[in-house]
Amino acid sequence: MENMKAVVLDGYTLNPGDLNWKSFNELCECEIYDYTAPDEIIERSADADFLITNKTVLPASVIECLPKLKYIGVLATGYNVVDIEAARKKGIVVANVPAYATDSVAQLVFAHILNIANQVEYHSEEVKKGRWAANRDFSFWDKHLMSLKGLTIGIVALGNIGNKVAQIAQAFDMQVIAFTSKTPTGLPPYIQKADLETLFRSSDIISLHCPLTPDTEKLINAETLSLMKPSAILINTGRGGLIDEEALARALNENKLFAAGLDVLSTEPPKKDNPLLTAKNCYITPHIGWATYEARQDLMNIAAANLRAFIEGRPQNVVS
């Protein structure tokens, strides 16, 4: 759009070089920064009509200093980086990108589950050490391997990702139970509704998909861990704050929980003294559930479509 300008404050995570910003550049003048420090935001955004942010925080103190600003696009589903009330008071529209990574996150849930069930990483490393070559038999394993068939997976919250995980679990012939606000009659026949205590006690695998709120913060703690089977596996691709990390590390190290597969931690990047980094049977990926090429391309496309819709006077995915 002529004489209108967009500023992308932190585009590197979404596009480290394998995507392009063409869909934004076609809409208006577009200035793109890989990263923006807090003290650089106002200077870089002073003449922006539209701001695009991923993790760069836009508090009220910044929003109030940007008189031209009309629109904030968040390159994510979560939009807690923006002071929504401050934006609303100034009539600034804030839009997010919902449900772009459902398949990718669900895929990572099962990447963790299958890695643990088949001990993929461990046995691959043992082969590289020469143990298979030195083995007298055609096959070797010295870790417990398990079949998913017949196991019970407990899913905490049935949004888009939780439902996708349930569908995949059904394909593995798993029993699916879920803690959800949906009524039993509103669930597919292969999902059984359960309260949290029943879910924790009954599940062989627990997968967290609830938002982080005051009610769910440290949902996984010493008390809830004590309800779980010692053979259970915990998967978290939601938010790191859902877990009391000290309590989880202790449960793993004391064999009170078999394993954990985590894609998120309470502080990211993690502090070096995070107890989960050295905990027994704890498999951690660096927040990559959303980061497949296909999911990031979808994110780019939807974010650009959001901006186009706003420019054309029909804003979509508005959260303000």
One of 44, 123, 250, 287 is an active-site residue; which one? 287
Paired strand residues for 234: 206, 260
Residue 227 has pLDDT above 80, yes or no: yes
pLDDT tens, position by position, 79-119: 999 999 999 999 999 999 999 999 999 999 999 999 999 99
| Known active-site residue 29 | no
| Per-residue pLDDT reduced to its tens digit, 46-66 | 999 999 999 999 999 999 999
pLDDT greater than 60 at residue 1: no
- What are the tens digits of pLDDT across the range 12-41? 999 999 999 999 999 999 999 999 999 999
154 pLDDT higher than 70 = yes
Q: What is the pLDDT of residue 3?
A: 83
CA distance 186 to 92: 37
CA dist., res. 171 & res. 169, Å (int): 5
The single residue of 112, 209, 239, 296 carrying the catalytic annotation is: 239
E strands, the chain, are: 5-8, 29-32, 50-53, 71-74, 93-95, 152-156, 175-179, 191-193, 205-208, 233-236, 259-262, 282-284
The fold of 5-100+293-311 is Rossmann fold (3.40.50)
**pLDDT 10s digits, 282-291:** 999 999 999 9
Q: How high does pLDDT run on average in the chain?
A: 96
In the residue annotation, 287 being an active-site residue is answered as: yes
Phi, psi of 275, deg, nearest 5: -65, -20
pTM of the model: 0.92
CATH for 102-284 (3.30.565.10, 3.30.300.30, 3.40.50.720, 3.30.160.20) = 3.40.50.720
Q: Which of 268, 296, 312, 314 is catalytic?
A: 268
Catalytic annotation present for 239: yes
On the question of a common fold for 5-100+293-311 and 102-284, the answer reads: yes
Average pLDDT of the residues in 246-262: 98
Region 271-281 average pLDDT: 97
- Domain boundary assignment for the chain: 5-100+293-311, 102-284
Contact 279, 247 (CB under 8 A): no
- How many percent of the chain have pLDDT more than 70? 99
Q: Tell me the mean pLDDT in the region 278-284.
A: 98
pLDDT at 2: 61
